[in-house]
Each structure stands twice: as C-alpha cells, then as structure tokens.
Structure 1
Amino acid sequence: MTTTIAGVEIPDSAMTRAATNQIRGTTSVLMFHHALRVFLFGALTGYRGNLTFDEELLYVGAMFHNAGLNVQHQRSAYRFEVDGANAAREFLRQHGAAENVIAEVWEAIALHTTPGIPEHMSPLVALVSAGVQMDVRGAGYDEFTAQQRDEILQAYPRECGFKMKIIEAYARGMEHRPKTTFGTVNADVLDRWDPNYRRLNFCGLVLGSNWPT
C-alpha cells in the first residue's frame, strides 16, 4: 500500500524496500527515523524549488547517508560520509543501477556535511544535504509549513532529547578516527563530545610542514 506523508509519496519498489530493510537492521530507531525525515524534507525542498529528481535515488541517499556511523565501520580510517557512500555504491550495484547514477548518489552522501558545495551540484546532491540540514539543525525550518512538519513528526517522531542523542551518535561513530574530522563540521562534534580531542589546525600544518620557507 502506498504511504503518503506531508504530500510526499514514499517510494515503494524492490530497491527501496531492500534499502529500508538493510538500514533498519543495522541502525537505531532514532537514526532510522532521522533518515526517513531527511528523505521527506529533501523531497519537499525539491518540490518547492520545482527541481527534477528521482525520488527512489533520493530515498536511497537518505537511507544510507549515515550508514558510515554504524558499528561495522568501527575500524575504518575513512570519513564516515565516505563509508556511507561506499555502502550505498555497493548496494546500488547489487540492484543493477547504472554507474552514473551510482556516482551521483555517492557524491550526495559523501558531501552531505560539507557546507556551501551541495547546493551548487545536481538536485539529488543538493536535496540529500538539504534534508539533513533541516532535520539536524533546522536549516530552512520556516520554509516548511507547520502542517508539513507535524505530519512528518507524527509519522517518524524525533525522540525526546534528539539534539543531544544525534550528536552522541555522530561522536560514537567518529571517536576512533578523529583525524578524519579535519576541515569538516565533524570536528565540532568531537570538540564538544571529547574533552581530550584536539583539532588539527590548517595554519599549524602549513607552518609546521617540512618546507624550509
């Protein structure tokens, strides 16, 4: 049966059902509901801007955007966004997606925490980021109607204390690889979470390099 929330139809295909099952089986309810809200806010942003995008691919991008934080990546040395993008690439290849499509979803996930870049790329890349930014930090909050927000939250609630819980989820997924946060918003997470964390500083790296001048 088709599910429509806040005017957005949840894609119902073999691929999206498989994505749902894979992510629901490997992440917390908090993060699973977050992924669904990311899809919905991203889709509404696309509709409002009259953008042309593939709802199935947006759904997969939303589902996998935080997959790199999951326990199976605890030993990874990559940025969590790259691990999530790689997981989505493997998933899409298993489902016969074209390589250009896979590359676009990879970019959408890899860049979803990089401010100032996604909105200048394809609609898919822009909308994954927009959905994340809305649900996590309320970017564009007033561009959605109260009814849209309420319908989405009724379907996929934000847990009590969501703000701190999602910061903790990010921190837990990155605390073993602090160097990967250099130059990203992820450094803010570990700076707030871990009293022993020390940021790398770009100027310090330049001035401390092996170049004599």
Structure 2
Amino acid sequence: MPTNEVSSVVVPDSKLAREVTQLIRDTESELLFNHSVRVYLWGALLGKQKNLSFDPELLYVAALFHDIGLTSTYRESQLRFEVDGANAARDFLRSHHISQEDIDKVWTAVALHTTPGIPEHMHGEVALVQAGAGMDVAGRGFDHFTDEQRTAVITAYPRGADFAPRMIDAFYHGMKHRPGSTFGTFNDDFLVYKDPRFERVNLCSIILNSNWEQQTAHSKPDC
C-alpha cells in the first residue's frame, strides 16, 4: 500500500487532499491515478532539488487533475482535454473556497502541462506539473533522479512494464472524438500512431488557403 511519504516527499493528507484523492480514484483508472500521483512525486522531488517555491497541496491537486480530461466523463467534450482538467480542478477548488490566485495557478498548471517551453518560466506549481508529467510519460529528466528515488516512487505507485502502450491508448481514447483539439499540440501524435486514417492539419496550408489569400487572388487584374 502507498505510504504518506515516498523518498522524503510527503503526499499531502489534508482534508482537501483526501477529497481530491477520493474523487480521482473514483473517476480514473488505476493507470491514470498512479500516474497522476507519480507526477506529483517527480515534481516535488525536482522542486526540492532546484529549490523552487511551490505549495505541495496545490501541486498535488494539479497533478491529480491533470489527466482527468482523458476519462469517459469527457467523451462528448470538444475542448482540449487539458482545459477540461483545468476546469474540473477550478470547480473543485472553488467549492472548497480556495483563493482565486491559487485557483489560477492550478488551472494554468493543468492547462499547460502538455505545452513545452512555457511552464518552466512560470510559478513552481506550473513548472513542476509539466516536469513531472514529462518524466513519468517520456522519461524526460530521468537522470535527475537517483536509482533509489525512482525505485521508491514506482514501488509506492506502480508504473507497470506495459505502461507505455497503455498510456498511449489512454491518450488516444481521450482525444479520438475531438481531433480538432489536437491542432497546434503534439497530441495529434497519438491519433496518427493509433489511426492510420487520421490526417494532421497543416498550418501552412491553412495560411495559403485563407480568406486573405482568396481575396488577394480574386483582386488580381487579369493579364
């Protein structure tokens, strides 16, 4: 059974943390739940290493909500799954009368966790959710952790030998009904990998065929 402390990182055990834990356990598969707690642990470990300022409870809430948008609850949504998760976290925190400033941090952390190049320049909670997710899914920053730390985390919250294909499946099933939401992100990689019929949207084609270009073409005098 998971303990309240993993590799010197304490898993929050406040009333708020217990409630979000139960909500996510009831909503997500074991795959996504364990992944989400590991995201918190990797993020908190990195935060301690880098001496970043962050609120563990806010980081925990953001980490647990970050993939809820992939669940069946959102099978009709056309929003980006990250935004569904951010909105769910916002509503949960509002119901607990958390300050708007802290809600904004959590919303941003969840919404931007798949957006490279930006979160690392923002609040600690925002930076660490993205860093933790990158570590757990793709091994980004793998060597920043010791063997003991990695073993402790995956022992407490198992990853499983088949994590990679199962996680790809989770991404695919969470987004296949809203392919348009993947434009401008790397999330379309999951659709391309799983569905050979999927065609990426090409921004250059959009620009070259925009109304501006059509208008220009029509306004050119005949030779």
The TM-score, its normalising length taken from structure 2, stands at 0.94
- Unpaired runs of 5+ residues, structure 1, are none
Equivalent runs, 1:17-32 vs 2, <5 Å: 17-32=18-33
- Check if 1:80 corresponds to 2:94: no
Which residue identity does 2:127 align to in structure 1? A
Alpha-carbon offset, residue 76 of structure 1? 0.4
Aligned to 1:114: 115
- Give deviations 1:125-182, integer Å, cap 9, x for gaps: 0000000000000010001000000000110111231001001000000000000000
CA distance in 2, matches of 1:121, 1:58: 13
Which residue identity does 1:149 align to in structure 2? R
- Check if 1:60 corresponds to 2:61: yes
Aligned to 1:205: 206
Which residue identity does 1:5 align to in structure 2? V
Aligned to 1:161: 162
- The 10-residue stretch of structure 1 (170-179 or 157-166) with the greater mean CA deviation from structure 2: 157-166
Alpha-carbon offset, residue 52 of structure 1? 1.1
- Check if 1:186 corresponds to 2:187: yes
Q: Runs of 4 or more off by more than 6 Å in structure 1?
A: none
CA distance in 2, matches of 1:204, 1:121: 33
CA distance in 2, matches of 1:110, 1:33: 20
- Sequence identity percentage: 53
Alpha-carbon offset, residue 194 of structure 1? 1.0
- Give deviations 1:24-43, integer Å, cap 9, x for gaps: 00110011000010000000
Which residue identity does 1:105 align to in structure 2? V
Alpha-carbon offset, residue 208 of structure 1? 1.1
- Give deviations 1:38-84, integer Å, cap 9, x for gaps: 00000001000001110000000000000111111100010000000
- Unpaired runs of 5+ residues, structure 2, are 217-223
Aligned to 2:9: 8
CA distance in 2, matches of 1:95, 1:144: 34
Question: What is the aligned-residue RMSD (CA, Å)?
Answer: 0.8
Aligned to 2:220: none
